[in-house]
Amino acid sequence: MNNVVGKILIVLQLVFSLCFMCFAGAAYTFHEGWKNRATTAEDKLKNTNLQLTEAQTARQQLEEKLTADVKTQTERAVMAEAKVTGLDTSLAQALGNLANAEQQRDKHLADLAIAQQEAQARISETTDARSENLRLNDRVVDGISVRRTLEDQVLELQGQNNEAVRREQANIEKLERLRGVLSKNNIDWEEALKGPVLPVSEKVNGVVRAARKNESRSAELVEISVGSDDGISKSMRLTIYRGAKYVCQIEVTEVYPDVAVGRVIEETRNGTIERGDNVTTKL
Amino acid sequence: MSQQNSDPTIYDGLMFVSLGAVIIGIVFLVLSLNGYGWSSGG
């Protein structure tokens, strides 16, 4: 029996020994590959650790930077929030001001509409007044024209009247003088008398030395450069002309040897008399 | 005594074969451990 157990044990020992040898041989055969893989894995692990360290360092730096950035951004956010709060307040105030401005604008628009209506009414009134003014101006112009015409007529009539009064006075004086003369000579004054006939003078030419109004400004007196030496006598009518233009006629009232004074006959006036105008007895 | 002088059997040969296989396996393991820096001196 012992012999059988010993044999079995020997066979088992042989089998296990062979298995051990095969295992050891396999390990020896493949241990180089495992070593390389282990070395490679170790290198990878070192590189990975190194990268991990660098990544941790970078992460730490990044964290610090991000922390600083977060802090800065937080401060900026706080400031921005404060600004936003201020802006909100300003916006609310601006909205209030806008509402007030809109109310004032509406009020002003209403006032403007009323003012436009009033302005339109004033424009209508002004247009009417302008038309009335133009009409009155036309009437004024017509009135002025009529007034000037009437003034001219008045002046003409005044001149005629003055001339008539002067002539009447002169005639009265002459008549009184003649009455006196007739009474001294015992002649009846009611007899018909014929005055002396003035001699017909030759054509005499002279010039106007001066022309001015008399003291009462009722007549214009003219001084001429010819007198009694040239045949000029009182009551003689002379004609004044300038070039080819007829000016007026004068009646001689005062006569001196080389100068005479005449009064302008207004009915014959055709213009103003100027110094240097020609005067003649016959045209 | 006669039993002690008996001829070796096949099992004796198997014993030696086993011993050889163990020695060869040990050699393989030593060689493998040398690749990882192992030294017998501890």
pLDDT tens digit sequence for A7-26: 899 999 999 999 999 999 99
Residue A276 has which token pair?
């240097």
Between A and B, how many residue pairs show a Cβ–Cβ distance under 8 A? 57
For domain A200-280, the question of CATH label 2.40.37.10 is answered with yes
Instruction: Tell me which of B20 and A38 has the higher pLDDT.
Output: B20
Looking at residue A213, its pLDDT comes to: 82
The pTM of this model reads: 0.30
A10 and chain B in contact, CB less than 8 A? yes
CA distance linking residue A66 with residue A61, whole number of Å: 8
Across the interface, whether the CB atoms of A28 and B29 are under 8 A apart is answered yes
Q: Does A17 touch chain B (CB under 8 A)?
A: yes
Which single residue is written with the structure tokens 């000037």? A148
The torsion of the CA quartet A133, A139, A143, A146, rounded to 10 degrees, works out to 150
Scanning A32-51 for CB atoms below 8 A from B yields 32, 35
A273 in Cβ contact with A211 (< 8 Å):
yes
Map residue A265 onto helix, strand or coil: strand
Token readout for B27 is 């050699």
Contacts of A216 (CB under 8 A, 6+ apart): A162
**Residue A1: pLDDT band with limits 50, 70, 90:** low
pLDDT at residue A2 tops 80: no
The DSSP element (H or E) to which A280 belongs, if any, is strand A278-280
Nearest to B11 among A10, A22, A24 (CB): A10
CA–CA gap between residue A249 and residue A224 (Å, rounded): 12
How does pLDDT run across A27-36, given as a tens digit for each residue? 888 877 777 8
Cβ pair A27:B28 closer than 8 A:
yes
Q: What are the sequence ranges of the domains in chain A?
A: 200-280
- List b or e across A252-265, with b for residues whose CB sees 16 or more CB atoms inside 10 angstroms: bbebeeebbbbbbb
Q: What is the ipTM of this complex?
A: 0.82
Neighbours of A238 (CB within 10 A): 22
Predicted confidence (pLDDT) at residue B37 exceeds the cutoff of 90: no
Mean pLDDT of B14-37: 89
Nearest to A24 among B25, B35, B36 (CB): B25
Please name the member of A10, A23, A31 whose beta carbon is closest to the beta carbon of B15.
A10
Map residue A250 onto helix, strand or coil: strand
